[in-house]
Amino acid sequence: MFQRLREDIDCILERDPAAKSRWEVLTCYPGLHALFIHRRAHFFYRHGWYWLARFISQLGRWLTQIEIHPGAKIGRGVFIDHGAGVVIGETAEIGDYCTIYQGVTLGGTSLNGGKRHPTLAEGVVVGAGAKVLGPFTVHKGARIGSNAVVTREVPAGATAVGIPARIIQAEDAKLREEQAARMGFSAYAVTQTADDPLSIALHGLIDHAVTQDQQLEKIIAALDKAGICVDNQPCDENFNAQQLNKLVD
């Protein structure tokens, strides 16, 4: 029990620059208290003592303003920062090292029994006031923007913002793929998961050069048609965007 508490305190010290000491975290962090109480409630829930489990969870709610249903499964190193107004439903699952800010709801959209609340995979961050509603998964390392309303699956590492939430990284990738398709090659395939900023910048420059080449060709053709001759120097070495993209990746 104390080992787990120490681990939770260390996680908070790592993730909250405002936390100054273990003593401060132990005495002044409602998220820590809520999880401590939840573990007791969850124990009784697992053993079928539903009323007692629910009562303990309510005590936790009175003390911390964080409502965690005793049935919710919560992993290690989870940090509920500030915490006021957080509501976590019965069939919600929270993976290790997730961070949840105040006002977050992990809720359901159906009155049917069974799995109806979301699953957060490892390392997910849910911004203040976000509502994550339904029995889908927010995959590893994804981030939910503050005040977003998320009603569908979020891919690993993606960022979801707005109401209803849109996946900003995936949309960027889609635009890029469309542009690549128009240009006749697919840089997308090699950059989809790249997170090296230098590589992303170089891919961007190569794409841009290809677009400009194509536009110049069209302008020269139009000028030719209009009877204006442009001294078009033949280029020995063809600009091979696909090859360059492979080199950069």
Ligand X SMILES: CC(C)(COP(=O)(O)OP(=O)(O)OC[C@H]1O[C@@H](n2cnc3c(N)ncnc32)[C@H](O)[C@@H]1OP(=O)(O)O)[C@@H](O)C(=O)NCCC(=O)NCCS
List residues near ligand X by CB under 6 A.
Answer: 82, 101, 127-128, 143, 145-148, 159, 161-162, 168
In single-letter form, the type of residue at position 36 comes to F
Please, what is the minimum distance in Å from the beta carbon of residue 194 to ligand X?
16
Q: Are 130 and 113 in contact (CB under 8 A)?
A: no
Q: Do residues 83 and 64 make contact, with C-beta atoms less than 8 angstroms apart? A: yes
Nearest approach, Cβ of residue 199 and ligand X (Å)? 18
Collapse the DSSP code of 180 into the 3-class scheme (helix H, G, I; strand E, B; otherwise coil) and give the result: helix
Is 5 or 128 the residue whose CB approaches ligand X more closely?
128
Whether the CA torsion 63, 67, 70, 72 is positive or negative: it is negative
Q: Which is nearer to ligand X, 16 or 213 (CB)?
A: 16
Taking the least distance from each CB to ligand X, the nearer of 126 and 248 is 126
In whole angstroms, the minimum distance from the beta carbon of 132 to ligand X comes to 13
Give whichever of 56 and 138 is closer to ligand X, judged by the CB atom: 138
Question: What's the closest the beta carbon of residue 102 comes to ligand X, in angstroms?
Answer: 7
Among candidate residues 248, 160, 134, 166, the one with its CA nearest the CA of residue 200: 248
In the bound state with ligand X, the residue whose beta carbon lies nearer, of 167 and 210, is 167
CB of 170 to ligand X, least distance (A): 13
- Give one DSSP letter per residue of 131-155, joined into a string: EEESS-EE-TT-EE-TT-EE-S-B-
